[in-house]
A and B are shown apart, each in its own frame.
Chain A
Amino acid sequence: DAGITQSPRHKVTETGTPVTLRCHQTENHRYMYWYRQDPGHGLRLIHYSYGVKDTDKGEVSDGYSVSRSKTEDFLLTLESATSSQTSVYFCAITPYSGSPYYEQYFGPGTRLTVT
């Protein structure tokens, strides 16, 4: 158990509304990631963080922003939700503070539906 929780676990929202998903970890891991999972695409990286206030874009970052004001929390915000952002969102951590080049452990996921 990597001590990762995500909230909410399920959310339905309307097009055009802002949405924030939270990832919380209890073990002070340096690296945190947000992925989305869609049929036919596997998982794709949205944003990642390599420390407090240190973040960078991933493969599918358009329409998303992130913030990390403390080690344990990594927030993903959909500025103005669109139907194409309906997906399952996973947060992940790498449990080795010195390098990101190790396996990632994933949270339970958040299922987001944009109507």
Chain B
Amino acid sequence: AQKVTQAQTEISVVEKEDVTLDCVYETRDTTYYLFWYKQPPSGELVFLIRRNSFDEQNEISGRYSWNFQKSTSSFNFTITASQVVDSAVYFCALSVRGGNEKLTFGTGTRLTIIP
């Protein structure tokens, strides 16, 4: 069975600070996919990134960066120079090849950026 743990339930930081959201996953499969989604206060779910298990390169997109480490089963998300618009609930998710085609989500981290 797959499991995704987001131990940080809520985080608050002052605007312009950097913040890292943690994601730890569990799976016995060797081929899997990791995702991050953003859910702003308006409620929609916005896809941010997908990472395959065989690609451990970190990724940067503007102020966002992702650190994938298979050795620690982690896929952490860092926001640099945070802005109020980054306030949202962030979900990490996992799917596996050969499974039942489902995304297994973590419970989410609510990030509040204080102006």
Q: Tell me the A residues contacting B by CB distance below 8 Å.
A: 31, 33, 35, 40-45, 48, 50, 56, 58-59, 88, 90, 100-106, 108-109
**Minimal Cβ-Cβ distance residue in A for B9:** A40
Measured between beta carbons, the chain B residues less than 8 angstroms from A50 are 101
Closest residue to B43 on the A side, CB-wise?
Answer: A109
- Residues of A within 8 Å of B105, CB to CB, are 42-44
Chain B interface size band reads 20 to 34
CA of A41 to CA of B91, assembled, Å: 11
Q: With the chains together, A109 CA to B43 CA distance in Å? A: 8
Q: Select from chain A the residue with minimum beta-carbon distance to B44.
A: A108
Nearest-neighbour CB distance to chain B for A7, whole angstroms, equals: 16
Chain B residues with CB below 8 A from A88, complex form: 43
Bound CA span A105–B17, Å: 30
B residues sitting closer than 8 Å to A (CB atoms) are 4, 33, 35, 37, 43-45, 47, 50, 91, 93, 95, 97, 100-103, 105-108
- Asked whether A101 lies within 8 Å of B102 as measured between CB atoms, the reply is no
Nearest B-chain residue to A56, judged by Cβ? B100
A49 to B38, alpha carbons, bound, how many Å? 24
- Whether the pair B103, A43 counts as a contact (CB closer than 8 A) is yes
Kindly provide the distance from the CB of A78 to the nearest chain B CB, expressed in whole angstroms. 20
| A48 contacts across to B, CB distance below 8 A | 100-102
